[in-house]
Amino acid sequence: MSRPTSCFVIAALLVTGSLVIAGDLNPPAGPVAPTMKTLDEVEARTPINATNTPGDTDSLYKITQPGSYYLTGNITGVVGKHGIEIVSSGVTLDLNGFDLVGVPGMGAFDGVSVTVDSLRGITVRDGSVRNWGDGGVDLGFLSRGCRVEGVVTSGNTGTGITASISASVTGCTSSFNGQRGIRASNGSTISHCSVESNTGAGIEVNNGCAIANCSAYLNTAHGMLTGVGCTVIDSSGYQNTLHGLQVGEGGTVTRCTVYTNGGRGINAGDGCTVTECTSNRNSNTGITVGAGGTIKDCTARLNTLNGISCAGRSRVIGNTCDANGNGGDGAGILASGTDSRIEDNLCTANDRGIDIDGFATLIVRNTCSANTVNWDVNIGNVCLVVTVFTTPAFSGNAGGTAPGSTDPSANFTL
């Protein structure tokens, strides 16, 4: 009695399964069209090759139209030619992780070169450019709004990366180039870049630029060199032949570290502000500002000459200067010129603690201790020094007495 029921169930399942699997046998209205993407839709960019981007007398490949271009393999240079020449605005060049390498005796030609003035909106990214007879990537110093991202340049005879006006250079490395590591014009931003062992400055920018989260190591000139009105933040300069950071007038340097540079650690011009920086073991003065500058909350230690120096009309506030004059002759703080304010600093174990060579400077609430000479203050300044030692000795939460003035502006010698 159960066999007919089982057969009925199996038949029903087969019918149901066929209904689920089967589709609509009637095609939709209208002409039949392909449903897959074309190759141009999958990769809408243009590959760099002799057909799409043919070169000319001075270039292997030449981009003459706006658009997005990419490499499909490495490029080896030839004598007397740029690798890739760009003569159009609105170009994005993806090196696609490939290598552009020059050859000996090729002459003054670049790996990637913009050869027309005042182009706009050019991007070069993600690849290696090395050993060219001039620059690695040269976007032209008069171009505007260009970007270089994730590019590694090395061993080029000229500058590793030359950007432009209002350029952005991000995540790049530039080393062992015959001139600068990275160079950019007015209004540019350099961020998260590393420059090493370049013959010129590691990073050099013109006016109104920003450098952030960068490092400069073992460059033959300055680690970083800026024009006027620039900002350098969260960056470092280590073992460069000249100054770690050379900053033009009206600049700001914040949370930077400079160590064992051949010149000054940070050398800032008139009207600059240097805050929360550390400058150790440089072959000259640790931190210097010109007239009308500010140095605040910094540490300067074991520099060959002074820890901190300032010209007139400056403020030096809340700094720690220790063991400067290391192998040379220096003060914790040296102030020249007139009308400065030296306040709330700690100077210890320097040749001279606080040295005021100028006039009409106010020196208040500083502490000097264990310097060879604690105070060296010229005539014509305002400075009250009190020697303070507790007497008698005590233990616990309170006790002892301190001789000397209770003037809130007094400086202390311990």
- pLDDT (mean) for 388-414: 69
Structure token digits, residue 214: 């960068």
pLDDT given at position 358: 92
pLDDT given at position 398: 58
Give residue 6's pLDDT band: very low, low, confident or very high (50, 70, 90).
Answer: very low
CA separation, residue 383 to residues 168, 354, 377, 387, 393 (Å): 48, 11, 8, 13, 29
**Residue listed under structure tokens 């400055």:** 201
pLDDT digits (tens, 9 = 90+) for 157-182: 999 999 999 999 999 999 999 999 99
Residue type, 309: S
- pLDDT (mean) for 384-396: 70
Of 34-38, 85-89, 186-190, 363-367, which range is least confident?
A: 34-38
- CB atoms near residue 70 (< 10 Å): 18
Composition of the chain by helix, strand, coil, percent to 5: 5, 40, 55
pLDDT over 70, % of the chain: 85
pLDDT given at position 28: 61
Q: By C-alpha distance, which of 126, 103, 121, 101 is closest to 111? A: 101
Is the Cβ–Cβ distance between 251 and 227 less than 8 Å? Answer: no
Residue type, 223: G
pLDDT digits (tens, 9 = 90+) for 315-355: 999 999 999 999 999 999 999 999 999 999 999 999 999 99
Q: SS3 sequence, 94-157?
A: ECCCCEEECCCCCCCCCCEEECCCCCECCEEEEEEEECCCCCCEECCCCCECCEEEEEEEECCC
pLDDT digits (tens, 9 = 90+) for 232-280: 999 999 999 999 999 999 999 999 999 999 999 999 999 999 999 999 9
For residue 392, cis peptide bond before it (omega within 30 degrees of 0): yes
Q: Give the DSSP H or E segment for 266.
A: strand 266-268
Structure token digits, residue 283: 């072959």
Average pLDDT, the chain: 91
pLDDT given at position 17: 45
Say yes or no to pLDDT of 396 above 60. yes
pLDDT digits (tens, 9 = 90+) for 52-92: 999 999 999 999 999 999 999 999 999 999 999 999 999 99
pLDDT given at position 129: 98
pLDDT given at position 410: 86
Say yes or no to pLDDT of 18 above 70. no
Q: By C-alpha distance, which of 353, 317, 348, 315 is closest to 334? A: 353
pLDDT given at position 227: 98
Give the side-chain half-sphere CA count within 13 A for 165: 7
- pLDDT (mean) for 275-287: 98
Is the whole-model pTM more than 0.85?
yes
Q: By C-alpha distance, which of 45, 106, 62 is closest to 80? A: 106
Q: What is the C-alpha separation between 299 and 319, in angstroms, rounded?
A: 6
